[in-house]
Amino acid sequence: MATVSMTVNGKKVSADVENRTLLVQYLREKLGLTGTHVGCDTSQCGACVVEYNGEAVKSCTVLAVQAEGATVKTIEGLANGNDLHPMQAMFREHHALQCGFCTPGMVLAAVDMCNRYKKLGKKLDEKAVRHELEGNLCRCTGYHNIVKAILAAAPQLGA
Amino acid sequence: MAAAAVGAAIRRREDARFLTGSGTYTDDINRPGQTYMHIVRSPHAHARIKKIDVAKAAKAKGVVAAFTGADLEKDGVGGLPCGWQVKGKGGTAMIEPPHRVLATDKVRHNGDPVAVVIAESREAARDAAELIEIDYEELPAVADMNAALKAGAPAVHAEAKGNLCYDWDIGDKAAVDAAFAKAARVTRIELTNNRLVANAMEPRSAIGEYDRATGGHTLYTTSQNPHVIRLLMGAFVLKIPESKLRVVAPDVGGGFGSKIYHYAEEALVTWAAKKIGRPVKWTADRSESFVSDAQGRDHVTRCEIALDQNGTFLALRVSTLANMGGYLSTFAPAIPTYLYATLLAGLYRTPAIYCEVKAVFTNTVPVDAYRGAGRPEACYLLERIVENAARETGLDKAEIRRRNFIPKSAMPYQTPVALQYDSGDFVRNMDDALKAVDYPGYAKRKTDSEKRGRLRGIGMATYIEACGIAPSAVAGALGARAGLYESAEIRFHPTGTVTVFTGSHQHGQGHETTFAQVVADGLGVPMENVEIVHGDTDKIAFGMGTYGSRSIAVGGSAIVKAMDKVIAKGKRIAAHLLEASVEDIEFKDGKFRVAGTDKNVDIAQVAFAAYVPHNYPHESLEPGLDESAFYDPKNFTFPNGCHVCEVEIDPETGEIDIARFDAVDDFGRIINPLIVAGQVHGGVVQGIGQALLEHCVYSADGQLVTGSFNDYCMPRADDVPSFTVATNEGAPCTHNPLGVKGCGEAGTIGASAAVLNAVVDA
């Protein structure tokens, strides 16, 4: 067992975990942040994507003990109070979610995609969005509206 | 009066919680004192269990209990029931071997559950499971249907001679033989409809809880139909009366059929929670889903179509092998019979059809309905053979269809395979799709592709499906062991808000929005005043759940029926308040009016009077405004459409690029076009997945080869294009009050055939 402390959604948190505990389990089981989902056991689906020290990371690929001192943002911390983040708002506007299970990871991956393109001074187009979504599976939407939503949010996020 | 909600692309109300991480999926729920269950599953496809010893595991650190099938049998726990009895040729009953919750005698597929460990944590349960000693005697296994039917093949069940579950047929064999004898031309095809894994993104999960004070059980589960689980598990497996069993299916992360069935894990957590006196939770790993969720499709078919010299279809003859897997899942026997062979007329006037189906047991994971369920198999078969016939006769692929379509004027149309279509304008759908795809411009696009060294092909699929299942009397006559109606309750509250309780269940479909649109218009109240409640057997009187694109057609119709009762009672209250006779009261846009006058009263005021009945017709009416209804459909609904796909293929690598995909669908009246389009997009990608990417593979001896997302190719965003989708509302359903047909499965039904026809064409 080890005590692991980090900053999650702006709050300092701490919990005792087994060495094998994954970051996603820490978030879900120790902190009750169940918005981050587990859709597979091979790091393929992307349902568990969170913002980890400023970058999108599959939280099933990080051990909780590795995350000591890290800054993490989950889907619960993305909106500003009742104001949805532009990516969340565009997902709603374009019906880019159905069952909602892949959505938190999808939204955080999309935000990260925009951040990276903004840094590079590049603009996203449909081909780039589809390629960038390689790490996230959705079984409901056929991706059509997810791509539309990301392309609608991207200019608002400088990408 | 607000603008009509029905028909508007209203943004979904459920999105607010899903976008902020506030949804409540089963694994998000934790109950006080909760324990965790790990299931030990067979690594073998077929083996005799000689001995299971859980003693060491039971004593391990953090372990609360360990159980085997023997413990369940001691408590009189029954097997998992099959919900459909198919009678084969000559009325022979299908073979229905026992399906134990935990295997005791033999294991029959990779992943067959044999023991459980319950512990203080997931990790402790998993660690202790390693200590369970199982002595297996491996037996020869069989995964392939043709191999399973051969003499001397390993017997999956002693009861099923030759591994045959049933040998069933439908249609007029003599008429078909006669038509083939005089045919000008016969086109033949042999097809495999490959096995798929549904892979809803949320893995299955279940939590059992027992309340010693009341003797009540609660099961939280990832189900598309909580009342069906209550019925099956309560009556057949655990013998718990409905009054003592609550089943909650909260937010569910996709189903596609795989969450219809009653699974062993639901019975295990419910039973064990009472046994140990603490809540028990189980959540599947994805690898576990691959070997424990019912899989889909898996047909091998030979088909022949007889044509006259003009390309008119004279007769169709079909022979199909359908894989049932190691046990019969809840709906399994119905899929390759009543949801498949009855659709073999397709959109065509083929006068004589005969189909025989052999259902086969193999040492593989059970097969049941997966999005479309039988109808994609029928569409794939028909549309492949129709395009082959077009090629062989030299007719254009649209022309051969046009010559054989059932005309709109022939509706209602009785097919030779039991169904009576009520509506549809097949020519218009095809013409619209051809226009959307710019069919005349195809030749130039093909030339352009060829100039770039690419092959190009175009393929079509027209389809019709039987949805809105089902008239209970018909389903019963065909072997269903349940009715297939839906229920609704409308509680109009004293202060003007409305709670709607529906037996339908949403797991991505957006009922909380579409059903609210229907109720807002029907009762003339603002949509924000309407709340939709589903997924809890303690709240909703009854329900048959969501599958087969039935929610709006059957569940929505039940809501309309309950609204009619609310309005009827409201008229009597309004008549009293307005001092008029009931016959003179009209209801429109939320107001009860005395006909021909401006005297009126708002429905909210009527509701208030119903609950504060100071001035009320007590002699003839009870207080309150709360009505419920059951709706049993008069017929199936028949969504139909035309999908066209163009592919470009790199002849060097074989890489297939979907250049465009256009769908025109007739779903009857559309409640929310945004949601309908979303259903088509998702369905089409599942169809493309089957055609080009997905394939569930077993080795000859029954080992699942594609048991993870590393091995099973799920469609990703860059595998598929964007689509154009459109709907025709010109031929609404004639027999339900909303005129709706359902849209959940259509994309999956049309897409596989359209894509593969395009590939063959290229």
Query: DSSP readout, B512-539?
Result: HHHHHHHHHHHHT--GGGEEEE-SBTTT
* Mean pLDDT, residues B629-648: 97
User: A86-99: string of b/e by CB count within 10 Å (b at 16+)?
Assistant: bbbbbbbbbbbbbb
pLDDT at B482 (0 to 100): 87
pLDDT at B711 (0 to 100): 97
Residue B64 and residue B41: Cα distance in Å, rounded? 19
> All domains of chain A, ordered by start, with CATH?
2-76 (3.10.20.30), 86-157 (1.10.150.120)
For residue B216, the surrounding DSSP H or E stretch is: strand B216-221
Query: Do A41 and B286 count as a contact with CB atoms less than 8 A apart?
Result: yes
Q: Does B720 touch chain A (CB under 8 A)?
A: yes
Q: Which residues of A touch B674 (CB under 8 A)?
A: 95
Entry field: residues in chain B? 762
Give the chain B residue nearest A27 (alpha carbons): B28
Give the chain B residue nearest A127 (alpha carbons): B718
For the beta carbon of residue B394, count every other beta carbon within 10 angstroms: 8
pLDDT at B301 (0 to 100): 98
Report the gap between the CA of A14 and the closest CA in chain B (Å): 19
* Mean pLDDT, residues B132-143: 98
Report the gap between the CA of A60 and the closest CA in chain B (Å): 13
Token couple for B684 = 């089409």
pLDDT at B602 (0 to 100): 98
Would you say residue B3 has pLDDT above 80?
no
Q: Which of B18, B36, B205 to mutate to test the interface with A (most CBs of A within 10 A)?
A: B18
Residue A99 and residue B18: Cα distance in Å, rounded? 8
Residue A28 and residue A48 in contact, taking contact as beta carbons nearer than 8 Å: no
Amino acid of residue B383: E
pLDDT at B2 (0 to 100): 58
pLDDT at B1 (0 to 100): 46
Q: Which residues of B touch A134 (CB under 8 A)?
A: 716-718
- Among candidates A35, A98, A103 on the partner chain, residue whose Cβ is nearest the Cβ of B678: A98
Distance of CA B284 to the CA centre of its chain: 21
Task: Quote the Cα angle for B458-B463-B467, to 5°.
Answer: 150
Residue B469 and residue B550: Cα distance in Å, rounded? 6
Q: Does B662 touch chain A (CB under 8 A)?
A: no
Listed in sequence order, the DSSP H helices in chain A are: 23-25, 86-93, 103-120, 126-132, 144-153
pLDDT by residue (tens digit) across B567-588?
Answer: 999 999 999 999 999 999 999 9
Q: Does B652 touch chain A (CB under 8 A)?
A: no
Query: Do B201 and A39 count as a contact with CB atoms less than 8 A apart?
Result: yes
Q: Does A101 touch chain B (CB under 8 A)?
A: yes
Q: Which residues of B touch A103 (CB under 8 A)?
A: 18-19
Longest dimension (CA), chain A: 46
Closest CA to B665 of B654, B679, B655: B679
Closest CA to B194 of B296, B326, B343, B304: B296
The 8-class DSSP code of residue B599 comes to: -
Q: Which residues does residue B630 pair with via DSSP β-bridges, in sequence order?
A: B487
Q: Which residues of A touch B285 (CB under 8 A)?
A: 41
Q: Does B19 touch chain A (CB under 8 A)?
A: yes
Q: What is the CA radius of gyration of chain A?
A: 15
* Mean pLDDT, residues B2-22: 94
Q: Average model confidence (pLDDT) for chain B?
A: 97
> What does each C-alpha distance from A139 to A24, A97, B198, B255 come to in angstroms?
21, 10, 9, 10
Phi-psi region of B591 (alpha: psi -120 to 50; beta: other; left: phi over 0): beta
For the beta carbon of residue B90, count every other beta carbon within 10 angstroms: 7
Would you say residue B552 has pLDDT above 60?
yes
Report the gap between the CA of A33 and the closest CA in chain B (Å): 8
Percent of chain B whose predicted confidence (pLDDT) is above 90: 98
For the beta carbon of residue B659, count every other beta carbon within 10 angstroms: 18
pLDDT at B150 (0 to 100): 98
Q: Which residues does residue B531 pair with via DSSP β-bridges, in sequence order?
A: B499
Give the chain B residue nearest A87 (alpha carbons): B19
Task: Quote the Cα angle for B476-B482-B483, to 5°.
Answer: 75
Q: pTM here?
A: 0.97
Report the gap between the CA of A48 and the closest CA in chain B (Å): 11
Would you say residue B688 has pLDDT above 90?
yes
Query: Do A99 and B253 count as a contact with CB atoms less than 8 A apart?
Result: yes
Identify the band that residue B260 occupies on the pLDDT scale cut at 50, 70 and 90.
Answer: very high
Distance of CA B365 to the CA centre of its chain: 18
Query: Do A92 and B675 count as a contact with CB atoms less than 8 A apart?
Result: no
Q: Which residues does residue A50 pair with via DSSP β-bridges, in sequence order?
A: A57
Q: What is the value of ipTM here, to two decimals?
A: 0.98
Percent of chain B whose predicted confidence (pLDDT) is above 70: 100
Give the chain A residue nearest B255 (alpha carbons): A99
CB pairs A-B closer than 8 Å: 177
pLDDT by residue (tens digit) across B497-517?
Answer: 999 999 999 999 999 999 999
Report the gap between the CA of B237 and the closest CA in chain A (Å): 29
Give the chain A residue nearest B28 (alpha carbons): A34
> All domains of chain B, ordered by start, with CATH?
18-139+201-254+259-292 (3.90.1170.50), 296-470+635-761 (3.30.365.10), 485-631 (3.30.365.10)
The 8-class DSSP code of residue B271 comes to: H
Residue B198 and residue B366: Cα distance in Å, rounded? 12
For the beta carbon of residue B368, count every other beta carbon within 10 angstroms: 26
Listed in sequence order, the DSSP H helices in B114-183 are: 122-129, 145-149, 173-181
User: B616-646: string of b/e by CB count within 10 Å (b at 16+)?
Assistant: beeeeeeeebbbbbbbbbebbbbbbbbbbbb
Query: Do B20 and A88 count as a contact with CB atoms less than 8 A apart?
Result: yes
Would you say residue B648 has pLDDT above 90?
yes
Residue B721 and residue B344 in contact, taking contact as beta carbons nearer than 8 Å: no
Query: Do A44 and B710 count as a contact with CB atoms less than 8 A apart?
Result: yes
Would you say residue B675 has pLDDT above 50?
yes
Residue B326 and residue B444: Cα distance in Å, rounded? 51
* Mean pLDDT, residues B264-270: 98
Q: Does A66 touch chain B (CB under 8 A)?
A: no
- 3-state per-residue secondary structure call for B297-363: EEEEEEEEEEECCCCCEEEEEEEEEEEEECCCCCCHHHCCCCCCHHHCCCCECCCEEEEEEEEEECC
pLDDT by residue (tens digit) across B85-105?
Answer: 999 999 999 999 999 999 999
Residue B263 and residue B292: Cα distance in Å, rounded? 9
Report the gap between the CA of A28 and the closest CA in chain B (Å): 8
Query: Do A134 and B718 count as a contact with CB atoms less than 8 A apart?
Result: yes
- Among candidates B21, B678, B709 on the partner chain, residue whose Cβ is nearest the Cβ of A141: B678
Give the chain A residue nearest B202 (alpha carbons): A39
Residues 6+ apart with CB under 8 A from A102: A37, A39, A45, A46, A47, A136, A137, A138, A139, A140, B201, B253
- pLDDT by 10s per residue, chain A, length 159: 899 999 999 999 999 999 999 999 999 999 999 999 999 999 999 999 999 999 999 999 999 999 999 999 999 999 999 999 999 999 999 999 999 999 999 999 999 999 999 999 999 999 999 999 999 999 999 999 999 999 999 999 999
